């Protein structure tokens, strides 16, 4: 049974659409993260949160936004999807002594 | 800026042999280093964490070393199995801010 859930697993969407990638965790952790990973490439931190109402941008600039209204929920939104947003998006949570990742959302923008 | 280097070439070994993967980093002195396994299309899975004051850490067939002078960690899998085939990532919290930076990973292929 997974402790961190991401939906959808796969998403193909047209250019200009607004999308929200869902991430929920049942571990009760304050810290949550979003990483972006292209095939065969390294993970890049795009957003993180240290608790409710706390969100920060990561090292890789991203046009996406995040919110943290509840401890367990950390959704990522793209207001207007573009083909350059095609990638895998991975959500994680942890205490600093090891992250638990979700299965990821593979986003394709056509 | 901080940089993490892992061998980008795949490591191809025979089943039963020991696999050794290398992680080098520059500039900072992280308090700990972590290793993850990633299978295609999946999120990374945490394997081991080693602190700066620990020289070696073991977990079943896995062994990690951490040399803060060389700024290097070695990750060993003994008695390797085809099921160990995956990409292995090292990760560092560069500034103790609880933000992990990942290397690009090394792909391990274990031949039966």
Distance CA A107, CA A88 (A): 6
A5–B contact, CB cutoff 8 A:
no
Which residue on chain B is closest to A40 by alpha carbon? B104
Report pLDDT for A18: 97
Q: Residue A85: how many CB atoms within 10 A of its CB?
A: 19
Grouped pLDDT means (10 residues each) for chain B, 112 residues: 82 97 88 93 95 93 94 96 97 82 95 96
**Could you tell me what percent of chain A has a pLDDT over 90?**
86
Nearest CA in chain B to A34: B99
Q: Is there a contact between B43 and A102 if contact means CB atoms under 8 Å apart?
A: yes
DSSP code string of chain B: ---EEE--SPEEEETTSPEEEEEEE-S---SEEEEEEE-TTS--EEEEEEETT-SEEEETTEEEEEETTTTEEEEEESS--GGG-EEEEEEEETTSSS-EEE---EEEEEE-
- Give the distance from residue B3's alpha carbon to the nearest chain A alpha carbon, in angstroms: 12
The angle subtended at Cα B27 by Cα B25 and Cα B33, nearest 5°, is: 45
Query: Which pLDDT score, from 0 to 100, does residue A1 have?
Result: 61
């Amino acid at each position: 049974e997974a402790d961190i859930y991401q939906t959808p697993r796969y998403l193909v969407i047209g250019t200009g659409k607004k999308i929200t990638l869902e991430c929920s965790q049942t571990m009760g952790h304050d810290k949550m993260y979003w990483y972006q990973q292209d095939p065969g490439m390294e993970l890049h931190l795009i957003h993180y949160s240290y608790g409710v109402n706390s969100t920060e941008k990561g090292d890789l600039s991203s046009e996406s936004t995040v919110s943290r209204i509840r401890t367990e929920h950390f959704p990522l939104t793209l207001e207007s999807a573009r083909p350059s947003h095609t990638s895998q998006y991975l959500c994680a949570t942890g205490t600093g002594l090891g992250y638990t990742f979700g299965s990821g959302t593979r986003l394709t923008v056509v | 800026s901080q940089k993490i280097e892992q061998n980008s070439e795949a490591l191809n070994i025979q089943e039963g042999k020991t696999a050794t993967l290398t992680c080098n980093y520059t500039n900072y002195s992280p308090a700990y280093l972590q290793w993850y396994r990633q299978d295609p299309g999946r999120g990374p899975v945490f394997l081991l964490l080693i602190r700066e004051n620990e020289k070696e850490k073991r977990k079943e067939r896995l062994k990690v070393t951490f040399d803060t002078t060389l700024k290097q960690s070695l990750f060993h899998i003994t008695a390797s199995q085809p099921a160990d085939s995956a990409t292995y990532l090292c990760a560092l919290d560069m500034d103790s801010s609880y933000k992990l930076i990942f290397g690009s990973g090394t792909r391990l292929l274990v031949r039966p």
